[in-house]
């Protein structure tokens, strides 16, 4: 706990009461690991107009489709810009949430079959790390340390806007 208090004291991080989920972060940043899919039958149940269907989904095979949108907010913005019944709009959003949950569960299963990831997940979930978020100072210092240790450069602009 002292290490976490020191990180907070130096302004490099914040300890919150909330927590983050390792599998959700992987799914959000690397969606190609476990795609967000919907079955053909599920898609047909929603009576989605063909032009909108083509924007929302990419065919994987004869029985499955993949969501083109990976961010719920962007999906909502797109759906709000179209003339759709509220029931259809809400059912698409519900399918999106369910597909994302299935994707996260798939990543959870993948982590459990991989020893290094399972160990990392256990360390994160059984410590204060799950409640820690880095400040911009912490991100810069972490990137500098990583660069010094590995001689690799990290583009921090993806974290600091």
Pair (77, 149) in one structural domain: no
3-state class of 96 per DSSP?
A: helix
Indicate the pairing of strand 13-15 with strand 132-134. antiparallel
Domain assignment of residue 25, yes or no:
no
- In tens, the pLDDT along 143-155 reads 999 999 999 888 8
Pair (64, 114) in one structural domain: yes
Write the CB contacts of 129 (distance below 8 Å, at least 6 apart in sequence).
Answer: 4, 123
Pair (66, 143) in one structural domain: no
Element (H, E) at 133: strand 132-134
- In tens, the pLDDT along 28-87 reads 767 777 788 888 888 888 888 888 899 999 999 999 999 989 888 999 999 999 888 888
Structure tokens at 142: 């972490």
56 close to 68: Cβ distance less than 8 angstroms: yes
């Amino acid at each position: 706990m002292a290490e976490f208090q020191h990180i907070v004291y130096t302004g490099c991080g914040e300890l919150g009461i909330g927590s983050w989920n390792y599998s959700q972060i992987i799914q959000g940043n690397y969606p190609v690991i476990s795609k967000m899919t919907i079955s053909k039958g599920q898609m047909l149940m929603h009576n989605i107009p063909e032009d909108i269907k083509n924007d929302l989904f990419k065919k994987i095979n004869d029985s499955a489709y993949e969501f083109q949108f990976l961010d719920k907010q962007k999906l909502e913005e797109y759906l709000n810009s179209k003339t759709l019944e509220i029931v259809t709009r809400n059912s698409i959003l519900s399918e999106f949430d369910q597909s994302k949950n299935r994707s996260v569960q798939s990543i959870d299963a993948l982590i459990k079959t991989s020893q290094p990831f399972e160990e990392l997940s256990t360390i994160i979930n059984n410590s204060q790390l799950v409640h820690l978020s880095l400040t911009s100072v912490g991100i810069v210092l972490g990137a500098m340390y990583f660069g010094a240790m590995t001689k690799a450069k990290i583009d921090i602009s993806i974290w600091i806007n």
